[in-house]
Copies of this chain bind each other. A is one copy, B any other.
Amino acid sequence: MAVTVDIVLLTIRDDSLAALLIRRGGEPFKGCYALPGGFVQPDETLAAAAARELEEETGARGMHLEQLGTYGDPGRDPRMRVVSVAYLALIPNPPEVTGGSDAESAEWSPVATFLDSTLPDAPSLLAFDHRQILRDGVERARGKLEYSGLATAFCGSEFTVGELRRVYEIVWGVDLDARNFHRKVTGTLGFLEPTGEMTTRGGGRPAQLFRRGATQTLNPPILRPSPTVF
């Protein structure tokens, strides 16, 4: 029985939540998109396999990486029985992924393109059961923003409160009150650590720069106004 890892790598690009997808050059699902991934080697942990595949595909290391779930229905891959452990990864500034090595090329695509519920459920765009995995990954990210510091994984090492708020707004697809959001995140002790620096990037009045704080659990949570649809 083959064991693979598949990775839902998310980022914020052009004011959209985007995922890294591979255009398949061969059968099955030739021409479809698929999640990056590959076989687990005999002597590496599952997380190490995911990190290795990520680095091969993007060149980036050290981003947020967590296990998402395992997908092993017989027949999910027509060639053989494959049990795939899915990982969720988040990266701040999406590296350009031009072309890729062989016939397979990697691209950033807005997740809405693939998850919009008006689309048919059949794998017309995404290979295997990767639509479900992508959906689960996006839902995990959306949920964890509420009670954890996960959103900072979409920001660089230093960021403003406004930039952090944009992450919430884009991932949840809602508008948040900037004033209340500011009070909430700066008021949660240990959540954000001020650098002392200011920045004017983004225009308007200069904003303080922050780093991730030690408290990576948000209590009470930030509740999303209305659960996002797809």
Contacts and interface: CB of A to CB of B under 8 A. Distances in A.
A41 to B, nearest CB: 9
A70 interface: yes
Interface stretch (A23-31, A43-51, A107-115, A206-214): A43-51
Given A67-B69, A85-B83, A74 B44 contact: yes
Chain B CB within 10 Å, residue with most, of A46, A67, A81: A46
Contacts of A44: 74
Contacts of A45: 72-74
A40 B71 CA distance: 13
Interface of A: 1-3, 40, 42-46, 67, 69-70, 72-74, 81, 83, 85
Contact of A70 (B1, B70, B74, B81): B70
28 contacts: A1-B1, A1-B2, A1-B3, A1-B40, A1-B42, A3-B3, A3-B72, A40-B72, A40-B83, A42-B74, A42-B81, A43-B74, A44-B74, A45-B73, A45-B74, A46-B70, A46-B72, A46-B73, A46-B83, A67-B69, A67-B70, A69-B69, A69-B70, A70-B70, A70-B85, A72-B85, A83-B83, A83-B85
Contacts of A42: 1, 74, 81
Nearest to A81: B42
The 8 A-B residue pairs whose C-beta atoms are closest, nearest first, are: A46-B72, A70-B70, A1-B3, A70-B85, A45-B73, A3-B83, A43-B74, A67-B69
